Amino acid sequence: MSSLFPHLFSPLDLGPLRLRNRIVSSGHDTMLAEDGLIGPDLVAYHERRAAGGAGLIVLQVSGVHETARYTSHVLMATDPESAAGYRALAEAVHAHGTGIIAQLFHPGREVMDGEQGMAPQAVAPSDEPQERFHVVPQALDAETIREIIAGYGRAAALICDAGVDGVEVVASHGYLPIQFANPRVNTRTDEYGGTPENRMRFLLEAIESTRTAVGPHRVVGLRISGDDLTSDGMASDEFLDVIRAVEEQGLLDYVSVTAGDSSTLQGAQHIVPPMQYEPVYAGGLSGEVKKAMELPVMVAGRINQPHEAEQAIRDGQADLCIMTRAMICDPEIASKAERDAVDEIRACIGCNQACIGHFQQGVGISCIQHPESGRELTFLPRPVVRRRARLLVVGGGPAGLKAAAVAAEAGAEVLLVERERRVGGQVLLAERLPHRAEFGGAATNLEAEARRSGAEIRTRTPVSEEILASFLPDQVILATGSTDREPALELAGEPTLLTARRFLSDPPELSRGGVLIADWKGDWTGLGIAAALARRRPVTLATAASFPGAAVQQYTRTALMGELIRARVTFVSDVRLAGLDDSTAYLQSTLCDEVLEVEDIATTILSQPPRASVPHLGFGSVPVVRIGDCRAPRTVEEAVYEGLVAATEFVLGPSAVSA
C-alpha cells in the first residue's frame, strides 16, 4: 500500500469485479487493430499497462452494428472471428491482476471515413447535419433502431463469453445513444423522439439489451459526458437527467464521466484535452454525478499525476481516475506510484502529438517522450549488451538524451557531452511559450532517465579531440541539433528583425507598434509567440501553411486558436515573407505572384526552417550516426524516436530495427 496515495491504492468493487486500485486506462483508439480484429500489437500494448500496475483497462470501442463503422479500422464485435482476439487480450491482462472491460459503440452521425476515399455515410435519429466532419446523416427507421439495440446485446455476449470482465456502453461525446437524448439532434416524433421520455428510450433499451445478454456476473458501465461544452450542445443539467434515469433503471455497475462533444471543434477538444486545461478540470462534473447516484464514478480529463488522482478521490469528485495518457507516456506509473517512487514517473505533458495526433493521421499510437509505446513488440524487452560497448553522445537535446538513456539501460558505457550549461535543447525554448510550460518536462524526464540508467552527462563540454582520445568510443551519436537560417529578403531602411529562437531565448524590449510573425510551417512556434504578444500589441500571423497551426494537433490548435481569435490576432495564410522596410511587410502569395502589403509593422519575428548543425570535427574510423535535427530538422517526436532506434541498433547491431 502506498503511503502517499492511500485512496488511489485502495481496492474497489465494480459490481462483480474487484479492482486492486483506482487507476483506469480508458477506451482510446490505438490504430493497432488488424483488419478490425485484435492482434498481437494491441495485446502487447495493453498487457504492458497491466504489467505496470493499472487497476482497470477499458478497451477501445467495438462496433455493435455494421452502421457503426466510424473509421476503416474500428474493432467490430459483430463477427464471431473477433472472439479469439478478445480472449487473448483478456488472458494477457488478467495474468497481471488487472481488470478488462470493452466499450460498446455506435457513432451515429459522428463518422470520419467513407469507403474508398468517398464522403462518409452515417445514420442518426434525424438528418440534422454534423459540423465537424460535414456529415448529413440518414434518419434511422424503427426497424434498424431495433437491430442496433439488439446489436448491443449480441456484441456484449460475444465479448464477455471470450473472458472479458464486462462492457461499457458509450454515450459520451455526442455519439448515437446521446444523439437520441439531445432535442437539438433528435427531431423525431415517434416512440424514440418527441418527449424527454421517448428520447431517453434508445439509451435505456441499449443498456437493457446489454445487461440481459451478459447477466449479473459481468460488469456493465456507462460512459457519458457531463457537459458537451459547445454551443447548442447538451448542458450539465440535461446530462444529470439522463444519469438519474439510468440509475433508476438499476442495471449499471458504474458511470464514467468525461466532457465534450465530437460534432464541433469547440466540443471535440475535450475528447483529449490539451495542456491549456488544468488537471482534473472535469472533476466538478463528476462530483455532481456522484451526488446524484450511489454507483462508483470515474472521471477523465488531464489527470497525469498520482497526486491529482488522489486528491480527486479524497475530495469526493470520483471513485476512480482515468489516467490514459499518463500510461501511454509511462506504462509503469501505477507501480511507481504504489511504491511512492514519484520521482521516477515520466509525466505526460499533454502535447497530444503522438497519441491522439497519430490516430488523426491514421498511424499507430505512441508518445513523443516514450516511443516504445505502441511499438512494444519492436523495442521491448530492452536488449542487453553482450560485449564491451562505449558510446559517445554529442548533444544533450531530446535525441541525445534518449539515446544515452536506452544504451546505458542496456548496459553500455555512455558519455554524453553538451556544450550548453543545461541539457534539453530546444525543449527549453518551447517551454517559454504560453501554455507550454509542461513541455519542459520532456527534458527533465529524459535527463532523469539517462542519469538513472547510468549515463555520464557533462555539460559546458563541447566535443573535442581530447574527449575522443580519452573515452575511446566504439561509436559516436551526433545529436547536435540545428541553427537559425536567415531567409533571403529584400530589406529597405532598418526594420527590426528577430528570429523566433532569439526572441524566446533572450526576449528583447520590442518597439511600440505592430508585430508580424512570419511563420513557415504552421506549428506551435508561430501560434505561441502570437499568444505571448497579442494582449499587448497588434499582431499579424502570416503563415506559408494553408491555415494557422496546420502542423499542430487538432484539439491543441482549437484551444489556442480560440484564444488568438479573442485577442484579435490577424491571420494571413498561404504567404511567404518577401521583404521589409521600416514599417511595412511585403508578403508574397505561395499560390500566385500577388504581393500583399501589411503596414504599421514595427517588429518582424521569423519562424523559419532551421539548418542542421554538425560539428567540424573528424572522428577518424569511429562510426558516426546522426539523429534528430542534425540529421534533418523536424520535431521532438522524430528526435526521441531516432535516439531510441540508434541506441537499440548500437546494442543489437545495424538494421536491428525496422522503420
* Closest to 536 in 3D by CA, of 559, 507, 558: 507
- Catalytic residue numbers? 175
DSSP string, 633-645: ---HHHHHHHHHH
pLDDT for 522 equals 95
- Residues 127, 107, single domain; the answer is yes
| Segment of 109-113, 117-121, 327-331 carrying the highest mean pLDDT | 327-331
Assess contact for 5 and 337: CB atoms under 8 A: yes
- What is the tens place of the pLDDT at every residue in 14-32? 999 999 999 999 999 999 9
Residue 354 is assigned to a structural domain of this protein: no
Q: Is residue 4 part of a domain?
A: no
Q: Are strands 611-612 and 482-483 parallel, antiparallel or unpaired?
A: antiparallel
Question: In which band, very low, low, confident or very high, does the pLDDT at 1 lie, cut at 50, 70 and 90?
Answer: low
* Residues 456, 554 within the same domain: no
CATH of the domain at 133: 3.20.20.70
Q: 659 falls in which pLDDT band (50, 70, 90)?
A: low
In a domain, 375, yes or no: no
Check whether residue 289 and residue 410 sit in a common domain.
no
Q: Are residues 299 and 447 in the same domain?
A: no
Domain count, the chain: 3
Q: Where are the alpha helices (DSSP H) in 419-505?
A: 427-430, 441-453, 465-471, 500-505
Q: Mark whether 29 and 129 lie in a shared domain.
A: yes
Per-residue pLDDT of 412-466, as tens digits, reads: 999 999 999 999 999 999 999 998 889 899 999 999 999 999 999 999 999 999 9
Residues 579 and 455 in one domain: no
Q: Which of 609, 629, 644 is the last residue in one of the domains?
A: 609
Q: What is the domain range of residue 620?
A: 382-484+614-652
Q: Which of residues 343, 374, 393 is at a domain's end?
A: 343
The model carries a pTM of 0.95
Query: What's the pLDDT score for residue 432?
Result: 92
Does 377 reside within a domain?
A: no
Q: How far apart are CA 360 and CA 354, in angstroms?
A: 10
**Statement to judge: residues 419 and 322 lie in one domain:** no
Residue that the C-alpha cell 511507481 belongs to = 336
Query: Under a CB-based contact definition with an 8 Å cutoff, are residues 317 and 291 in contact?
Result: no
CA gap 176, 392 in Å, rounded: 55
Both 276 and 141 in one domain: the answer is: yes
The last residue of one of the domains, among 314, 343, 372, is 343
Which pLDDT score is estimated for 455?
98
The answer to whether 575 and 543 have CB atoms below 8 angstroms apart is yes
Q: Do 573 and 623 fall into the same domain?
A: no
Instruction: Verify that 389 and 469 share a domain, yes or no.
Output: yes
Give the closest residue to 350 by CA, choosing from 303, 417, 281, 294.
303
- The answer to whether residue 363 sits within a structural domain is no
Distance of CA 328 to CAs 8, 332, 371, 376, 378, Å? Answer: 19, 9, 9, 12, 16
* Residue 361, in any domain of the structure: no
Q: Residue 72 above 90 pLDDT?
A: no
Domain shared by 270 and 158, yes or no = yes
CATH number of the domain at 626, please. 3.40.50.720
pLDDT-above-70 percentage for the chain:
99
Round the average pLDDT of the chain to a whole number and report it.
95
Q: Please enumerate in sequence order all residues whose Cβ is within 8 A of that of 623, keeping only pairs 6 or more positions apart, or say none.
A: 474, 475, 476
User: Does residue 199 lie within any of the structural domains?
Assistant: yes
Coil, helix or strand at residue 318: coil
- Considering the domain architecture, whether residues 624 and 506 belong to the same structural domain is answered as no
Residue 374 inside a domain? The answer is: no
Q: What percent of the chain has pLDDT over 90?
A: 91
Residue 591's CATH number: 3.50.50.60
The three cell numbers of residue 399 are 535525441
